[in-house]
Amino acid sequence: MGVDISKEKVDIAIIDSNYDVIHEKTVKNNPETLLSFMKSVLRKLKIEKQEILVCCEETGIYKRPLQQVCSKWGLALWVEIALKIKRASTSLRGKSDKQDAVRIAEYALRYLDRMNLYIEPSQAQNRLQSLLNVRESLLNEATRMNQRMKESKRFDKDVFNIQNAYCKEVLEILKNQITKIERDIDVLLSQQPAMKQTVELLSTIPGVGRQTALQFIVYTRNFSLFQTAKQLACYAGIAPFLNESGGQIKKARVSQFANKKLKKLLHLAAMASIRVESDLKSYFIRKVQEGKNKLLVLNNIRNKLVKRMFAVIKRQSEYISNNFETNICTLT
């Protein structure tokens, strides 16, 4: 079942093992309508729930009703990156939501051996993600307002006085709400010992702070979605891949199929790690002095951070710094 999702509706196409379209339908994008459709189509086609695979593109919050229905009703759901489906399509002539639904269904059948089924997060993980998303929105808004006021204070005092009169109270409210969210996260962690332990362990790694640790808990389902550090590095878009064609051998490059949020967090963590006395700082200095590109070295540090995250989670013990390189850097 290929599902093309938009804000108000979803287009659905069902194909059999011979790639023949056996059913098409457009329904409203809400849990009640989707559940009703799923029940009716299974009755009509005389098949069981375990005989069907539902596939859709990653569409942010718009896919949430489908996720809820599939999880509660026990349907296998595969959420795939839209660009992967587009590049794998054999025919791109014409463009419509119905055609896209068929192409998604064809992709799911063609690459059935590569399917990655969606697993519904726990209620605590869903709540943590919601709290983090709201915190990020409030923080971004407060940052924008502060930046505008800072610029107007420097260049136009009259504008600043007006902004200050109306925005000062709003900024205070935003600050209080962010503090309240932090308290709610603390309460949630106190009720979830496994997640709290993960935050404490990850925070012992130089460069990895509380917010980075919380985001990794959300996106890795507390490190249950990935078996190795390399898998997580690929997901975060920091694992380099060969770039060769015929006799041409170019520099290895990272893939664009990545979770941009985690990639940004890892970059910030890498930057933080080289600002403090640590083996990563000495590693960065040494490699740059050898003539290595700074961005390449930073990407290596991002990979080292991912490996350290997996190490402390696997051992369930705090990170122990290797002071050997740090001491050498200090002495020289």
Residue 243 in domain: yes
Q: How many domains does the chain have?
A: 3
Whether residue 86 sits in one domain with residue 110:
yes
Whether residue 252 sits in one domain with residue 139:
no
Residue 256 in domain: yes
pLDDT tens per residue, range 309-319:
999 999 999 99
Whether residue 99 sits in one domain with residue 7:
yes
For residue 223, what are its two tokens? 């490190």
For residue 251, what are its two tokens? 């520099």
pLDDT tens per residue, range 150-170:
999 999 999 999 999 999 999
- Spacing of C-alpha 89 from chain mean position: 25
Residue 106 structural domain? 2-114
Residue 136 in domain: yes
DSSP secondary structure code for residue 117 in this structure: B
Residue 283 parent element (H or E): helix 279-289
Whether residue 323 sits in one domain with residue 246:
yes
Last residue of a domain, one of 93, 114, 135: 114
Count CA within 13 A, CB hemisphere, residue 104.
Answer: 31
- Spatial contact of 81 and 257, defined as CB atoms under 8 Å apart: yes
* pLDDT above 50 for 246: yes
Whether residue 58 sits in one domain with residue 13:
yes
Residue 196 in domain: no
Residue 32 in domain: yes
Residue 279 in domain: yes
Whether residue 107 sits in one domain with residue 15:
yes
Whether residue 153 sits in one domain with residue 106:
no
Whether residue 143 sits in one domain with residue 108:
no
pLDDT tens per residue, range 85-114:
888 876 666 678 899 999 999 999 999 999
Q: Residue 51: which CATH number?
A: 3.30.420.10
Backbone angles phi, psi at 205, to 5 degrees: -85, 125
Whether residue 110 sits in one domain with residue 132:
no
Residue 204 in domain: no
Residue 244 in domain: yes
For residue 64, what are its two tokens? 């949430």
- Amino acid occupying residue 55: C
Band the pLDDT of 133: cuts 50, 70, 90.
Answer: very high
Last residue of a domain, one of 114, 136, 157: 114
Band the pLDDT of 276: cuts 50, 70, 90.
Answer: confident
* pLDDT above 60 for 325: no
Whether residue 18 sits in one domain with residue 68:
yes
pTM above 0.85, yes or no: no
Last residue of a domain, one of 81, 114, 147: 114
Q: What integer is the mean pLDDT of 225-241?
A: 86
Whether residue 135 sits in one domain with residue 233:
no
Whether residue 164 sits in one domain with residue 139:
yes
